[in-house]
Amino acid sequence: MSMQEDHTGGSTEKLVAEAKEALRYRHPSRIQKVGDHMRREWQLYLLLAPTIIWLLVFLYTPMYGLQIAFKDYSIFRGVANSPWIGLEHFHTLFGSDQFIRALKNTIYISLLSLAFGFPVPILLALMFNEVLNQTFKKTAQTIVYLPHFISSVIIAGIVITAFSPSAGIVNTILEWFGVDPIYFLTKAEWFRPIFVGTTIWQEAGFQSIVYLAAIAGVSPTLYESAVVDGASRWQMMWKITVPSIMPTIIIMLIIRIGNMLEVSFEMIILLYQPATYSTADVVNTFIYRQGLQGGQYDLAAAAGLFNAVVAFVLVMTANTVSKRYSRTSLW
């Protein structure tokens, strides 16, 4: 009897183990699938590791500190021991004229950058694509890519010099037409056009590379077919090139909308001055002044968190809208 029990018991256990193993193979869990994939493609995961470590150390770990947006933070008490104060910092922010002004400026400058800055790289790429002389094309491309590789400090220096009322080229030209020198960088109404123009000059060329790559991916037979059908170069550009790169344009637009509130902080810091705060001060410069210069880390963290939440909502909305209407989306 005991023999039989042993036999039966042992056999059942074995059968259950075999069944579990078979189940594992037939219906592997997501973790098992990832594990199998990692074992098989470990070289790829190794290549991915530095980026993941970087993300964890510099982007995810600091998120622990986000809680100070809801605390009365003191550097002596530390993040964990500072007392919770709920949404008080947010009340302070939205009650502050400076923050509201910064928020309005951010939105205004972002919309201007989007309206004027977003189409320029696309137009540049389309123009480069139409240039047949290779020497001219390469020279022109180098010239427009160059500002991207120059430090923002130098770019700001060039802009300040160019708009200088005494020796700047802009005022010199204006003088030829009998216009009195204008103190561009001290006048609030001139800050936005100068800032938007500068960022376009600095980045449009480099950003056009993405569109040039997309254009390079369009099948040449589409153009050949259109040529036989009788399309002009202009018609081919608008009826083939632009629609073909539209998915890329939409993806870039979604990314751009997600980064809308992240206006070029460095350039603003370098170009603005108290006289132009009314039009130049944005959320990021506000955070910089409150947090780093004023020592109000908790208030600055609240402003930063607000910025991030708005960006998240914007990118989600843009992606959903794009997915629904153009079949193109980031995810």
Partner 1 sequence: MSGVQLKGIVKTYGAVEVVHGIDLDVAEKEFVVLVGPSGCGKSTTLRMIAGLEEISGGELTIDGRIMNRTAPKDRDVAMVFQNYALYPHLNVADNIAFGLKIRKESKEHIASAVKEVSGILGLTDYLERRPADLSGGQRQRVAMGRAIVRRPKVFLFDEPLSNLDAKLRTQMRAEIKRLHKRLGVTSIYVTHDQVEAMTLADKIVVMHDGRIEQIGTPMELFLNPANAFVAGFLGAPPMNQIKATIAAGDTGPVAMFGDQTLALAPLADLQNAVGREVIVGVRPEYAAIVTENQPGAVRCGLELVETLGSEALLHMTLGDAPFVIRTETLGNLDRLNAVNGFTVAPELIKIFDGKTGLALSGQTRAA
Interface residue list for partner 1 (CB under 8 A):
219, 221-222, 224-231, 235, 239-240, 243-244, 246
| Cα–Cα distance for residue pair 290/307, rounded to 1 Å | 15
Residue 122, amino acid = I
Residue 235 or 273 having the CB closest to partner 1: 235
Q: How far is the CB of 228 from partner 1 (least distance, A)?
A: 5
Q: Give one word for 178, left, alpha or beta, with left for phi > 0 and alpha for psi -120 to 50.
A: left
Residue 226 or 308 having the CB closest to partner 1: 226
Residue 186 or 244 having the CB closest to partner 1: 244
Residue 179 or 213 having the CB closest to partner 1: 213
Range 154-174 burial, b when 16+ CB lie within 10 A, else e? ebbeebeebbbeeebebbeee
Q: How far is the CB of 122 from partner 1 (least distance, A)?
A: 16
Unique residue bearing structure tokens 């001290």: 186
Q: How far is the CB of 322 from partner 1 (least distance, A)?
A: 15
Q: Give the rounded distance of the alpha carbon of 2 from its chain centre.
A: 72
Residue 8 or 235 having the CB closest to partner 1: 235
Q: How far is the CB of 244 from partner 1 (least distance, A)?
A: 7
Nearest to residue 156, comparing CAs of 267, 7, 278?
A: 267
Residue 71 gets which letter from DSSP?
Answer: B
**Would you call 205 exposed, middle or buried from its count of C-beta atoms within 10 A (0-12, 13-18, 19+)?**
buried
Q: How far is the CB of 288 from partner 1 (least distance, A)?
A: 44
Which pair of tokens denotes residue 172? Answer: 């010199």
